[in-house]
Chains A and B, each alone.
Chain A
Amino acid sequence: GAVVSQHPSRVICKSGTSVKIECRSLDFQATTMFWYRQFPKQSLMLMATSNEGSKATYEQGVEKDKFLINHASLTLSTLTVTSAHPEDSSFYICSARSQASGANVLTFGAGSRLTVL
């Protein structure tokens, strides 16, 4: 089945530094990947749609200069949290669609827990 790998699973950083999270589709190509953020006891909030070879599409209220998304290949999308602050601490999850799973089903990575001190 389709597998999405996310790295790192946990990261702790100092305020003001930047953190990069990688999302890889291991056994399929993904022209589109999605980045979500989950606050404690809250829903998964779609942050942006990552498009291979073009600019990401950000949801309303998401700062594109704060959350840089790069989708340089058909199997890799990266999310960089720039100049991180404690309020950026959250669980970030990426996902992608594979043909095997069907058009409406997303395969999710295991998530990345970011803690900004």
Chain B
Amino acid sequence: DQQVKQNSPSLSVQEGRISILNCDYTNSMFDYFLWYKKYPAEGPTFLISISSIKDKNEDGRFTVFLNKSAKHLSLHIVPSQPGDSAVYFCAASSSLVFGAGTILRVKS
């Protein structure tokens, strides 16, 4: 049973536009969520996180929104850049539970 789900396997966005990556979770006990970015043949790197006591966290072009009642979080990237093209993983519970990842392609 997947506790963290990323239902969109891929997303294609034009450079300069907003990228929105979504993540749903089932375990209401999760109190911390993270987004990691992964390039091919490399390990994931930490991008941004949010505690369950917040509903928004912003870091430059990256903003994570958390809707606890819906058990949903999303990562917004604006403006999107070609270098953002990668696989994005949503993680919960101190990075021990990962979603399946979403491949983001930013077209120039």
**A interface residues (Cβ-Cβ under 8 A, vs B):** 4, 6, 9, 34, 36, 41-46, 93, 95, 101, 103-111, 113
Assess whether A104 is in contact with B49, with CB atoms less than 8 Å apart: yes
Assess whether B44 is in contact with A43, with CB atoms less than 8 Å apart: no
**A to B contact number (C-beta, < 8 Å):** 55
Interface residue from A42, A106, A110 paired with B46 (Cβ < 8 Å): A106
Interface residue from B4, B34, B100 paired with A104 (Cβ < 8 Å): B34
- For the A-B complex with A43-B98, A104-B32, A106-B46 known, give 6 more contacts whose Cβ atoms are closer than 8 Å: A46-B96, A95-B95, A104-B94, A105-B49, A110-B41, A110-B42
Chain A residues with CB below 8 A from B43, complex form: 4, 6, 93, 95, 108-111
- Least CB distance, B85 to chain A, in whole angstroms: 16
**B interface residues (Cβ-Cβ under 8 A, vs A):** 2, 4, 9, 32, 34, 36, 41-46, 49, 89, 94-101
Assess whether B46 is in contact with A101, with CB atoms less than 8 Å apart: yes
By CB atoms of chain A within 10 A, which of B9, B98, B99 has the most? B98
Chain B residues with CB below 8 A from A6, complex form: 43
Give the distance in Å from the alpha carbon of A46 to the alpha carbon of B95 in the complex: 10
Give the distance in Å from the alpha carbon of A107 to the alpha carbon of B32 in the complex: 16
Assess whether B34 is in contact with A43, with CB atoms less than 8 Å apart: no
Chain A residues with CB below 8 A from B4, complex form: 43
A111-B46 contact in complex given A43-B98, A104-B95, C-beta closer than 8 Å: no
Q: Which 7 A-B pairs have the closest CB atoms?
A: A108-B43, A106-B95, A43-B100, A44-B98, A43-B98, A104-B94, A105-B46
- Least CB distance, B94 to chain A, in whole angstroms: 5
Give the distance in Å from the alpha carbon of A107 to the alpha carbon of B41 in the complex: 15
Assess whether A113 is in contact with B95, with CB atoms less than 8 Å apart: no
Assess whether B34 is in contact with A44, with CB atoms less than 8 Å apart: no
Give the distance in Å from the alpha carbon of A36 to the alpha carbon of B98 in the complex: 10
